[in-house]
Structures are given as C-alpha cells and as structure tokens.
Amino acid sequence: MINIKSTSEISKMRAAGKIVFGTFKELEKHISPGITTKQLDKIAEDYIRSQGGEPSFLGYAGFPASICASINDTVIHGIPDGTALKDGDIISLDIGAVFDGYHGDAARTYPVGKISDEAKRLIDVTKQSFFEGLKFARHNERLFSISATIQEYVESHGYSIVRNYCGHGIGKKLHEDPEIPNHGNFGHGIRLCKGMTIAVEPMVNAGGFETKCLSDGWTVKTKDGSLACHYENTILITDGEPELLTLIE
C-alpha cells in the first residue's frame, strides 16, 4: 500500500529531512584520515538528538548503530567500529532521522584526504545518476523511468548498478511501498502522484554488479573487491518540480 502524505505529514518529513541534511554537514567537518567510523557514528547520533530527532537506523531490525559507514568496497550497511579512515579511502555514509514519527533518509559518498581520479569519477557519476533519475520523479510519470534512467547513465560510464538492493517509499515507516530498483524498463511501473515520498538511492560499483553479504548479516561488499558508491535523497512528488527533503540549499 502506497501512502499519500498530507500537508501535516509532509511538514514533519521536511523537519526530519532537515536534520539528516544537518547531520551530513556536521560529519563533513570531521571526515579525515585517522577518525574512526565509531567516532563518526557518535557525532551523528549526538547531532540528531540535539535537533529533537532520533536515529532511524539504531536498533532497526537489530542494526547496532545510528549510521551506516561503508568504506571502499563496502556498498551499504557498514557497521561503525574502530576502523580508522585512511588517506585515499572513500566512505559512504547513510543517515536516517525520525522527527515526530516521520523519517528522512539520505546517503553520500565522501573522499578521505587525496583520492584517485578514478575514485572521484565514481563518486561524481553515482551522484549525477541520481539527478538524471530525478528528472522523472514527477506526478504521472512511471516509477521505473527513474530506475531505467539511473541504470543507463551508470552503465554508459562503464560502471555497474547494484541489482539486489533498492530504494523505497518512506514516511511513518523507514521503508514503505513501493520498492524502487535502480534498473528497469523505461515507461513501466506504477504512476507517481503528488504527495508520494520516496527514497531513491543509486548504489554503483566500479566493477561488476554482484555483491556479497558478510557473516554479520549487514555488511554488503562488492563481490570482486571493486570500489562502490552510494547516493540517496528523500523526495517529495509534487505537481511540479520534485522537492528534495534531505538536500537543502
């Protein structure tokens, strides 16, 4: 069942999205060689709570941290621990916050120190693939037009789109209907409509699209050990341009 959000619900989701955006801005001050992912997790949790929110991920299906911190060949769901960032790493941070019962969810991939040109290109392509898909996040468009556009852009640059994880609806629950794959057939899928809130999140591998999940039940890595990137925003479908609830200019 797809939930169409009321004006009041959208207001709460804007507040949650603003907290998520602010958390990224806070973490950006600290992403550098030597800091641990556990330290980043603590900074994020403290900031989210200071803004009147709660971390969406902490305890979700047993997840033990407030953010996902995924380094290099980790695609998603990296568990923060004592691992220190090194010069040349890339780190994907996935952050969720709930405010007054409603969620915001977003992800970014950051360079640590000086990274390779290829790593920078992967980050740039992953981010731009989101914005290519966003062109079809409009009332009356078909859902999979977003998916197909992301896939086409990523593959046109020689990268692979992850197939077995996807975006999702979002609102009172962190994960709602519909599922939003990052690959598919243009012009297919349900029609989007005003008041829908969705989280679109390309996950892009420099090598093949295959992934593996580690024994902790969470950490997802590229099967071939290639670099991976992640970019996500929570989107409100309107009767015009889509509104990014987790990207505030």
Please report, to the nearest 10 degrees, the dihedral formed by the alpha carbons of residues 40, 181, 61, 197 taken in order: 80
Helix (H, G, I), strand (E, B) or coil at 111: strand
Residue with tokens 């900031």: 47
- C-alpha 114 chain-centroid distance: 23
Burial class of residue 17 in the structure, from the number of CB atoms within 10 Å of its CB (0-12 exposed, 13-18 middle, 19+ buried)? buried
pLDDT value at position 174? 98
Provide the percentage of residues in the chain whose pLDDT is more than 90. Answer: 99
Give dist(CA 180, CA 125) in Å, integer. 19
Residue with tokens 């996807």: 166
Domains annotated for the chain, with CATH where assigned, are 7-244 (3.90.230.10)
Helix (H, G, I), strand (E, B) or coil at 180: strand
Q: Name, in order, each residue with C-beta under 8 angstroms of 5's C-beta and a sequence gap of 6 or more.
A: 13, 171, 195, 196, 197, 236
Residue with tokens 């004006």: 7
CA triplet 152, 156, 157: central angle to 5 degrees? 130
Please say if the pLDDT value at position 249 is more than 90: no
pLDDT tens digits, residue range 107-162? Answer: 999 999 999 999 999 999 999 999 999 999 999 999 999 999 999 999 999 999 99
Average pLDDT over residues 13-30: 98
pLDDT tens digits, residue range 34-54? Answer: 999 999 999 999 999 999 999
- Given a contact cutoff of 8 angstroms between Cβ atoms, the answer to whether 14 and 64 are in contact is no
- Given a contact cutoff of 8 angstroms between Cβ atoms, the answer to whether 248 and 18 are in contact is yes
pLDDT tens digits, residue range 160-207? Answer: 999 999 999 999 999 999 999 999 999 999 999 999 999 999 999 999
pLDDT value at position 123? 98
Give dist(CA 140, CA 129) in Å, integer. 21
